[in-house]
Amino acid sequence: MLSDTQIAVRDMVRKFAQERIRPLSHRFEQQGGYEPWVFESVAELGLLGMVAPEEFGGAESDYVSYALALIEIAAADGGLSTIVSIQNSIMVAGLLKDGTEAQKARFLPDLIAGRCIGAFALTETGAGSDASAIRTRATRVDGGWRLDGAKQFITSGRIAGLAMVIAVTDPGAGKKGMTAFLVPTDREGYIVDKVEHKLGQGASDTCALRFENLFVEDDLVLGEVGQGYRIALANLETGRIGIAAQCIGMAQTALEIAVAYAKDRVSMGRRIIEHQAVGFRLADLATRLEAARQLVLCAAALRDAGAAALAQASMAKLFASETAEIVVSGAIQTLGGYGYLEEFGVAKIYRDVRVCQIYEGTSDIQRMVIARTL
C-alpha cells in the first residue's frame, strides 16, 4: 500500500510527464535529443536526486517513490526515463556511497540540478556482461592517472558533463585491479567516436567513447584504488530497480492505449473488448503487468528497509523487462494494423522497451544472479 506522500509524488510526476513530455515524445525522437528545459524541469521536481540529501539539492525521498516517479516518466517517454535512472541510481548514488566530501560538494549539486548529465562508462566491445574483462587502462603518473581505451554502448556519452569510468589500474590483480574514476567530459582525450543509430530510445544518445592519454587527478578516484569492480556492481542493484520501473511505465501506456481502442472499436456489432479473444488477451496482459509492478515495488521497499535486495532487484528487472515486451506486443495485436502505425504510439514504445532486456544486465545475467541465491 502506498503512503499519502508516495501517492502525491506519483500524481505530481504523472501530471508533469503526461502534459509536458508525452506530447513531444516523437519530436524528441526525431531530433535525437532533449532540449535543455526538459532536464531543468525534471530537476525542479526533484527527480534527478530523489534519495539524495537536501544539502546537495536532493529530495530525500524513498526508493518506492523513486520507482513510482520512474514509472510515470517512462509512461511518457522511455528514453528520458533511462537518463533519469542512470542519473539517480548510478551517478548520484555512486557519489553518495563512495565519494569524498569534496567530490560530493563538487559534483552532486550540478547533477541534481540538471546542469550536468552523467554517463556510466563500464561496457566495452569485449566486456559487457563480463565486466571483469574490461581493457581500458589507467596508468599512474605524477599527480594522477592517464586513461587509455574505449567504451561501447554508453548512455548520454555525447551530452554528459561527467562520466564514471571503470578502468584497470593493476592488470595482474583481476577484479581487484579495477578502479572507478570521475571524468569531466571536457577534458582533452575524451572522444565521442560515434553516436549509435538504434532501434529505439532515439532521443537518449548511446555512444562509443575513446580515451586517449586522458589525465585525471588523484582526487577524481571514486572510492579507493582497486574498488572499481565493487562500485560498478553495487550501483547496478538500484539501477536494475530503475530499469524494471521504466518497463512498467512503458507497458502501462501501451496497455492503456490498447484498452481504450478495444472499448471504442466495433466489430461484428460489438466493441472488440467484448469479444472473448480480445478481452481475455487484455486480462492476461493486465495481470502480468500488475505482477511485475508488485515485484518492482517490493524490491524498492526492501531498499527502503535497508534489507538485501539483490535477488529481488534481479527478479524485478528480469520479469518486468520480459513482461513489458509481451504487453506491448499484445497491445499492437489488439490495435491490429493501427498498432503498426507510428501515429498511435505503441510502435515507438515497442522499439523503446526492447533494450530493457539487455542493458544493466541481460535477462541471462539476471537468471544467473537469481540462481546463485537459491
Residues 311, 231: Cα–Cα separation, whole Å: 18
Distance of CA 325 to the CA centre of its chain: 16
Other Cβ atoms within 10 Å of 329 Cβ, number: 17
Using DSSP, state whether 362 is helix, strand or coil: coil
The owner of cell 491490429 is: 336
Cβ-based burial of 280 (10 A; exposed 0-12, middle 13-18, buried ≥19) = exposed
- Element containing residue 207 per DSSP (H, E): strand 206-217
33: Cβ contacts below 8 Å, ≥ 6 apart: 159, 203, 205
Residue type, 51: V
Alpha-carbon separation of residue 90 from 98, 162, 197 (angstroms): 11, 12, 24
Greatest extent of the chain over all pairs of C-alpha atoms, in Å:
80
Other Cβ atoms within 10 Å of 355 Cβ, number: 22
Ordered alpha helix ranges (H), the chain: 4-16, 25-31, 36-44, 63-76, 78-86, 93-98, 101-112, 228-264, 276-304, 310-335, 346-353, 363-372
Residues 28, 180: Cα–Cα separation, whole Å: 32
Given the residues 72, 124, 237, 360, select the one marked as catalytic.
360
- Is residue 360 part of the annotated active site? The answer reads yes
- Element containing residue 179 per DSSP (H, E): strand 178-184
Pairing of strands 221-222, 144-155: unpaired
| Residue numbers annotated as active site | 360
